[in-house]
Structures are given as C-alpha cells and as structure tokens.
Structure 1
C-alpha cells in the first residue's frame, strides 16, 4: 500500500510569488523520483495564500530519500520564513482499510 500525504501551508502574503515558484521547482524535481507516485501542488481558490501538496509515495524509504535530496534542502532554505503557521501534515489512512 502506498503512503498518501496532504500538506497545507499558509503563506506570508509578501512572499507569495517566490514561494509559489519554489513549490513549482520542487514539484518538477520530485516528480522525477522513482518512489514519487504523485506530487501535485495546488493553490486554494477560497484562501489565496494557502498552498496544498497532494503526495503519493511508494514507501517510507522513498519519502526519506526525497528529504535528503539537494533540491529538497534548497526548497526548505528558499521558503524559510515564508509560512504564517507551521505546515499541517496529514498522512492519510483509508477508512475501513
């Protein structure tokens, strides 16, 4: 069974454009990873400063490898201070599964 994760971010309005660009760059690289089955970045239509990641990973090893990538570290450095609140990470479990 794969690992599905949804992460929401509340962006600082003044950092919106560069942070969205950083998310796009991260997604471009991440989608090339063998264990990344899905890595999509969305912007909320209801809350313009909210970004949502929808991820699907082959296994925990793929996630661990992703977090060690240079482009992931570069993304984290680029968005340092760009969020009004800590990211909300939701690791999903199927109901009844």
Structure 2
C-alpha cells in the first residue's frame, strides 16, 4: 500500500510567483524519482495564497530518500521565509483502514 500525503503551504503575500516557480522545479525533479508515484502542486482557487502539495509514495524508504535529495535542500533555501506558518502536513489513511 502506498503512502499518500497532502501538505498545505500558506504563502506570504507577494511571494507566490517565486514560490510557484520553486514548486514547479521541485515537482519536475521529484517525479523522476523511482518511488514517487505522484507529486503535484496546486494553487487553491478559494485561497490564492495557499499551495497544496499532493504526494503518493511507494513506501517510507522512498520518502526518506526524497528528503535527502539536493533539490529538496535547494527548494527549502529558495522558499525560506515564504510561508506564513509551518506547512500543514496530512498523512492520509482510508476511512475503512
């Protein structure tokens, strides 16, 4: 069974353009990883300063490897100070699980 994660990011007003570019690069690189089944970033229609990251991973090992990639560190450096609060992480589980 894969691991599904959704992360909400509150972007500081005026930073969306640079944050969106950073997310796009992160998504492009991450999708090349063997254990990344899905890695997509969306901008909320109702809340224009919110980015929602939707992830699906083969297993915890794939997530751990992803977090060690240099482009993850580059993303974190590029977006430093761009979020109004820490990301809100949701590790998902089916209702019947």
Q: What residue number does 2:5 align with? A: 5
Q: What residue number does 1:23 align with? A: 23
The yes-or-no answer on 1:69 pairing with 2:69 is: yes
Runs of 5+ unmatched residues, structure 1: none
Q: What residue number does 1:37 align with? A: 37
Provide the rounded CA distance (Å) in 2 between the counterparts of 1:21 and 1:83.
Answer: 15
TM-score, normalised via structure 1 length: 0.98
Q: What residue number does 1:47 align with? A: 47
Question: How far off its partner does 1:44 sit?
Answer: 0.2
The structure with the greater share of residues assigned to helix is 1
TM-score, normalised via structure 2 length: 0.98
Question: How many residues are treated as equivalent by the alignment?
Answer: 97
Q: What residue number does 2:95 align with? A: 95
Superposed CA RMSD in Å reads 0.5
Provide the rounded CA distance (Å) in 2 between the counterparts of 1:87 and 1:2.
Answer: 22
Question: How far off its partner does 1:74 sit?
Answer: 0.2
Moved over 3 A (4+): none
Provide the rounded CA distance (Å) in 1 between the counterparts of 2:75 and 2:84.
Answer: 17
